[in-house]
Chain A
Amino acid sequence: MQDYQNQKSTVLDIVNAHLSMPGNLLPILHGIQDTLGYIPPAAVEDIANALYLSHAEVHGVISFYHYFRDTPPGKSTIHICRAESCQAMGGKKLENHARQQLGIDFHETTADGRFSLEPVYCLGNCACSPSVTIDNEIHGRVTPEKFDQLIAAGKGVAQ
């Protein structure tokens, strides 16, 4: 876990850049997560103070949205679609395979810190199910074999 003191100035810069924007809380949270990879719990106080909100209000927003996370992700984040179209094309098999291969469940990170695994409900890639994203790269018609190839090729992981 990184020391928040090193992140504080980044957080404050992002907050200050959005002060005059109406409805600025989500853009601020996105800015922080885009930069740091997650929203450090210690940042909540700073965000709340700057926006004249309570700690609970900011925490409540962060925890409401699936996308926001309060722990650092692995080097790469894998999203596996669990929705109907992917299920119709073997998504459940893929999901189980991925969990087994990585040795983690959804919302967890591998011990070596390489991969985080997250569920997602539709990537809009339903014409070529099942779908997976590794970081921002999308892959269609992903069989368990193709999944292994992507992982073996180090897809997404900054080498």
Chain B
Amino acid sequence: MTRLFISRDSTALSLGAEQVAAAIRQQAAENGLDIDIVRNGSRGLYWLEPLLEVETGQGRVGYGPVQPADVASLLEHGLLEGREHPLYLGNIEKLFYFKKQHRLTFARVGLTDPVNIDDYLAHDGYRGLKNALALQPAEIVKHVTDSGLRGRGGAAFPTGIKWNTVLNAPAEQKYIVCNADEGDSGTFSDRMIMEGDPFVLIEGMTIAGLAVGATQGYIYLRVEYPHAYVALNEAIAAAIQRGYLGENIQGSGKTFHLEVRRGAGAYICGEETSLLESLEGKRGLVRFKPPLPAIVGLFGKPTIVNNVISLASIPVILDKGGEFYRDYGMGRSRGTLPLQLAGNIRHPGLVEAAFGMTLREVLYDFGGGSASGRPIRAVQVGGPLGAYLHEGQFDTPLDYEAFAAISAVLGHGGIVVHDDTVDMAEMARYAMEFCVEESCGKCTPCRIGSTRGVEVIDRIVDGAEKDKNTELLRDLCNTMTYGSLCAMGGMTPYPVLSSLNHFPEDFGLQAPKPD
């Protein structure tokens, strides 16, 4: 029997992976070929999806992008033996795009059957949990602290410190909450993990439970990810059945229950306190801090709220030790960051790499420049609340502090590329408009400021008292930055001001003085 791999990842499906799988199944049956199609996650080389891989004596051989009409010719040319064909790619792991990555968190994504627990175990799965079960809670937390891991959701808060706070908060009930409300546009790494290797997230959350004494976990998943919902629930059922979730995990006497809850299309629920309100069954209004969720979190109990990638990085840290992970990266940014290349880019996809690479390397060496072939003019890093960067900033290394120094953020690692046809005044207006749509409404700078922001930008573009209105926009952004309750209103000025500062000509203003 020959094993074939066709992804079940949303993006592969959006390009016709399901139809390709159906065509192969049908033609194999007609020709009496003995095949097994594994529906794996995506390797993350999205311009090659739908990607078809076949297991041969010489390893896995890839073909792509494959459409149903290609299947007959692929089989004729000897697909099952991994022979030459115009769509032949060879071993995917030897392609520059893949080879130059450091796949720690994404080690198994695209390689294994995402919901097959035996496949997970055969590829180093649950080794981190095994080690954690032999450690004291404080020792587990120490590994996480030593790793230097910082919250990958965007805020980059040291994970070990958060865990230690929950560990030391006395309570009969504590919770682990996974923030899987990956609402930042331009990001898809959480989705890829949940669809492509859900066990790694489950394992990470289980270890978090052991570390702080929490017996219940929730994955708050955005409703826009129906395929992740299915994969997570299949994996949770398998983990329960095999004694990796529930009571007496692997005979240890420890308990951890896990449940997936769906969000309902509110961007603000990616903010941790709003998320907790939503999990409690309320409107997603942001809470005042303090108290921190680590002290007073879900249902008033101490709670770890971590992003998907943060939690999915825990198993490798507990497997290989905090130092192993810490040895990747630069400065205070340790380990790897899964970057997501999107928008107008020739080679979009997932690039997990140690911190320190420059944006230019990512855009050109990996991304291959724009998809349209036109010059890249503006790049938004870190989601809809991230700054727009211009050509002169592309040599900035991907590092939390280096980005902060140029008034930008790395956020969740999303990189959205725009070519020179972009109108940056329109993008700035959109940023304010998005804030109008998604503000929870609790604080005035965000709720009212965003509406006024749209109006002021319109007036500047219309040429009405340009100087006065530009000053007004800056003043408004200042109020939003310093007066908002959370990052929604507090960071909307990033894309607005960066557009205004770097691309004033799009607002009909004078070009900037060279700096």
A residues near B (Cβ < 8 Å) are: 22-27, 29-30, 57, 60-61, 64-68, 83-85, 87-89, 120-129, 131, 136-141
A122 to B438, CA, bound (A): 13
Which of A61, A68, A124 meets B188, CB within 8 Å?
A124
A131: which B residues are within 8 A, CB to CB? 14
* CB contact under 8 A between A123 and B224, given known A84-B384, A84-B427, A89-B344: yes
The contact size tier of chain B is: 35 or more
Confirm or deny: B80 has a beta carbon within 8 angstroms of a beta carbon on chain A: no
A36 to B15, CA, bound (A): 30
Is B422 a contact of A88 with CB atoms below 8 Å?
yes
A30 to B22, CA, bound (A): 31
Which of A23, A61, A126 meets B416, CB within 8 Å?
A126
B residues near A (Cβ < 8 Å) are: 10-11, 13-15, 46-47, 49, 182-188, 190-191, 223-226, 261-267, 278-284, 299, 340-344, 348-349, 371, 380, 384, 414, 416-419, 422, 427, 430, 434, 437-438, 440
B279: which A residues are within 8 A, CB to CB? 23, 26
Is A121 a contact of B281 with CB atoms below 8 Å?
no
Is A125 a contact of B188 with CB atoms below 8 Å?
yes
B437: which A residues are within 8 A, CB to CB? 121
What residue in chain A is nearest B44 (Cβ atoms)? A127
B417: which A residues are within 8 A, CB to CB? 88
**4 other contacts beyond A29-B264, A89-B343, A138-B14, with CB at 8 A cut-off?**
A65-B263, A66-B265, A124-B188, A127-B188
A64: which B residues are within 8 A, CB to CB? 266, 283-284, 440
Is B281 a contact of A61 with CB atoms below 8 Å?
yes
Is B224 a contact of A122 with CB atoms below 8 Å?
yes
Is B266 a contact of A66 with CB atoms below 8 Å?
yes
What residue in chain A is nearest B42 (Cβ atoms)? A127
Query: Within the complex, what minimum Cβ distance (angstroms) separates A125 from chain B?
Result: 5
Query: Within the complex, what minimum Cβ distance (angstroms) separates A24 from chain B?
Result: 6
What residue in chain B is nearest A88 (Cβ atoms)? B343
Is A88 a contact of B11 with CB atoms below 8 Å?
no
* CB contact under 8 A between A26 and B342, given known A88-B417, A88-B422, A140-B14: no
* CB contact under 8 A between A124 and B191, given known A23-B280, A83-B384, A138-B13: yes
